A and B are shown apart, each in its own frame.
Chain A
Amino acid sequence: MKYIDPHIHMVSRTTDDYMRMALAGCVCITEPAFWNAFDRGSVHGFRDYFVQLTQYEPRRAGKYGIEYYSWICINPKEADDPAFAREVISIIPEFLESERVVGIGEIGLNKNTKNELVILEEQIALASEYDQLILVHTPHLEDKLKGTRLIMDAISANSGIDPDRVLIDHAEEHTVSEILDRGYWAGLTIYPNTKCTPQRAVDIIEMYGPDRIWINSAADWGDSDPLSVPKVRFEMRQRGYTDELIEKITHRNPVEFLSQSERFHYRYE
Chain B
Amino acid sequence: MIKEKIHNTLTSKEVIDRYFPENRAKLIDLAAFFDRMDRTSDSHAAGSDYRLTAFFEALNILSDGEANRAGRILEIFSDKTAELPQSADGVKGATGAAKNGE
- Of A112, A115, A203, A239, the residue contacting B9 (CB under 8 A) is A239
A110 and B91 CA atoms in complex are apart in Å by 9
Q: Mark A224-239, 1 if CB is under 8 A from B, else 0.
A: 0000000000000011
Let me know if A26 is at the binding interface, CB within 8 A.
Answer: no
A239 and B19 CA atoms in complex are apart in Å by 11
A208 and B95 CA atoms in complex are apart in Å by 28
**Contact (Cβ within 8 A) A112 B1:** no
**Contact (Cβ within 8 A) B94 A174:** no
Which residues of A have CB within 8 Å of B80? 146
A203 and B8 CA atoms in complex are apart in Å by 9
Let me know if A16 is at the binding interface, CB within 8 A.
Answer: no
**Contact (Cβ within 8 A) A116 B97:** no
A120 and B74 CA atoms in complex are apart in Å by 25
Name B1-58 residues within 8 Å CB distance of A.
1-3, 5-10, 18-19
- The residue of chain B having its C-beta at the shortest distance from the C-beta of A79 within the complex is B88
- The residue of chain A having its C-beta at the shortest distance from the C-beta of B75 within the complex is A174
- Minimum CB–CB distance from B67 to chain A (whole Å) comes to 9
Interface size class of chain A, counting residues whose CB lies under 8 Å from the partner chain: 35 or more
**Contact (Cβ within 8 A) B84 A144:** no
Let me know if A80 is at the binding interface, CB within 8 A.
Answer: yes
Q: Mark A120-154, 1 if CB is under 8 A from B, else 0.
A: 00000000000000000001111111100010000
- Number of B interface residues at 8 Å Cβ cutoff, please give it: 35
Let me know if A74 is at the binding interface, CB within 8 A.
Answer: no
Secondary structure at chain A's binding surface: helix, strand, loop or mixed? Answer: helix
- Minimum CB–CB distance from B25 to chain A (whole Å) comes to 14
Known A-B contacts A80-B87, A116-B88, A199-B19; the reply to A142 vs B5 at CB < 8 A is no
**Contact (Cβ within 8 A) B87 A146:** no
Which residues of B have CB within 8 Å of A110? 88, 92
A-B contact pairs, 28 of them (CB 8 A): A35-B92, A80-B87, A111-B91, A111-B92, A113-B84, A113-B85, A113-B88, A114-B87, A115-B86, A140-B93, A141-B96, A143-B78, A146-B80, A172-B70, A172-B74, A174-B71, A177-B2, A177-B71, A180-B1, A181-B1, A200-B70, A206-B5, A207-B2, A210-B7, A239-B9, A239-B10, A240-B9, A241-B7
Interface residues of A (CB under 8 A from B): 35, 77, 80, 110-117, 139-146, 150, 172-174, 177, 180-181, 199-200, 203, 205-210, 238-241, 245
Interface residues of B (CB under 8 A from A): 1-3, 5-10, 18-19, 68, 70-72, 74-75, 77-81, 84-88, 91-98
